């Protein structure tokens, strides 16, 4: 981080700022949008970034399964660390060992203003490394996306795992408010592959995606909305299990990367 970066998109600025950095780097007080873009950018860079952010900011970002599961992968590979503090009354900054970049956002762009003044950089690093040491580590409960994908392939097969990737990739977010969430997508994948509710919900609980009860409630909602159907499958001992199938012709005819969008339009 040696040059000012002016009139950039947020993602481009972050990518340029961390490219070639081979020492410690801290992002202080990011907005939700900046933290989201950092997680996206870090997927393509072999750099570690410590993030010190407001608790509400981190929670808001991690409510999106797509972002949170990618963040979990970065944490598992030691490229991201998240801590929170309620006392961050400062502009967003990227703090390195020899420079500080202040991030200034306008209506149409982001700008990075760099200082390499040795005294200033030293004071800033000391201040926020001390705060980092005192801050609480953010407990991310979302499982890493790589583990989710691998577990699904093992439980339901490679076709189902490919469908999950395609459906999730077609969504901008997976929050469950105005968009589909990870449980709904998982059930649509299971229905497309005519899998058992038991198998998809066991996978979900084992990997930490959601509880079996959450899968059951969501299955009932999708049935009531006419997206999926169930049929009983007898087993040797115990109650019959339920096989999931797609109920609507629009979903049956859609490609994997179109099913989530079609389902979302039917649910809203």
pLDDT in tens, 73-94: 999 999 999 999 998 878 899 9
In the prediction, which pLDDT does 179 show? 64
The pLDDT of residue 23: 76
Predicted local distance difference test score (pLDDT) of residue 1: 64
Alpha-carbon distance of 115 to 224, in angstroms, equals: 58
> What is the pLDDT at residue 88?
86
pLDDT tens digits along 209-231 = 999 999 999 999 999 999 999 99
What's the maximum distance between 2 C-alpha atoms anywhere in the chain? 75
When pLDDT is cut at 50, 70 and 90, the band that residue 177 belongs to is low
Task: Tell me: pLDDT of 178 over 70.
Answer: no
Confidence of residue 252 (pLDDT cuts 50, 70, 90): very high
Higher pLDDT, 236 or 36: 36
Over the chain, what is the mean pLDDT? 92
- What are the distances in angstroms from CA 128 to CA 51, 135, 180? 11, 10, 38
The residue that leads in pLDDT, 166 or 177, is 166
| Per-residue pLDDT, 203 | 97
Tell me which of 26-30, 107-111, 127-131 is least confident: 107-111
Judge contact between 163 and 189, C-beta under 8 A. Answer: yes
Q: Say if residues 248 and 225 touch (Cβ distance below 8 Å).
A: no
Structural domains of the chain in order of their starting residue, each with its CATH number:
5-137 (3.30.870.10), 145-267 (1.10.10)
In contact, 28 and 92? CB cutoff 8 Å: yes
Q: Judge whether 153 and 161 are in contact, CB under 8 Å.
A: yes
Name the band, by pLDDT with cuts 50, 70 and 90, for residue 60.
very high
Predicted model pTM:
0.91
In this predicted structure, what is the pLDDT of residue 268?
78
Q: Establish how many alpha carbons lie within 13 A of residue 29's alpha carbon, considering only the half-sphere containing its beta carbon.
A: 15
Task: List 241's β-bridge partners, or say none.
Answer: 233
- Res 20 pLDDT > 80: no
pLDDT per residue over 159-169, tens digit each? 999 999 999 99
Q: pLDDT tens digits, residue range 227-241?
A: 999 999 988 777 889
pLDDT(68) > 60: yes
pLDDT at position 176 over 90: no
pLDDT recorded at residue 161 = 96
* 103-120 average pLDDT score: 92
Q: So what's the pLDDT on residue 64?
A: 94
Q: 2, 26, 6: which is closest to 104 by C-alpha?
A: 6
Look at residue 134 and tell me whether its pLDDT is greater than 90. Answer: yes
């Amino acid at each position: 981080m040696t040059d000012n970066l002016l009139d950039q998109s947020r993602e481009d600025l972050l990518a340029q700022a961390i490219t070639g950095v081979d020492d410690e780097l801290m992002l202080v007080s990011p907005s939700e949008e900046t933290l989201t873009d950092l997680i996206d950018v870090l997927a393509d860079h072999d750099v570690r970034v410590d993030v010190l952010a407001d608790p509400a900011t981190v929670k808001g970002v991690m409510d999106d399964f797509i972002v949170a599961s990618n963040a979990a992968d970065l944490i598992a590979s030691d490229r991201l660390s998240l801590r929170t503090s309620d006392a961050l009354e400062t502009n967003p900054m990227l703090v390195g060992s020899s420079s500080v970049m202040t991030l200034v956002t306008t209506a149409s762009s982001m700008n990075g203003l760099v200082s390499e003044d040795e005294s200033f950089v030293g004071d800033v690093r000391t201040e926020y490394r001390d705060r980092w040491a005192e801050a609480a580590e953010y407990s991310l409960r979302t499982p890493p996306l790589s583990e989710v994908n691998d577990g699904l392939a093992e439980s339901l097969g490679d076709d189902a795992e490919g469908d999950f990737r395609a459906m999730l990739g077609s969504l901008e977010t997976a929050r469950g408010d105005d968009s589909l969430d990870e449980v709904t997508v998982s059930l649509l994948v299971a229905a497309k592959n005519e899998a058992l509710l038991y198998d998809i919900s066991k996978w979900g609980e084992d990997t930490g995606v959601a509880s079996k009860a959450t899968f059951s409630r969501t299955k009932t909602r999708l049935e009531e909305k006419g997206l999926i159907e169930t049929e009983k499958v007898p087993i040797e001992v115990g109650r019959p299990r339920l096989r999931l199938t797609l109920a609507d012709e629009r979903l049956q005819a859609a490609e994997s990367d179109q099913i989530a969008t079609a389902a979302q339009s039917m649910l809203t």
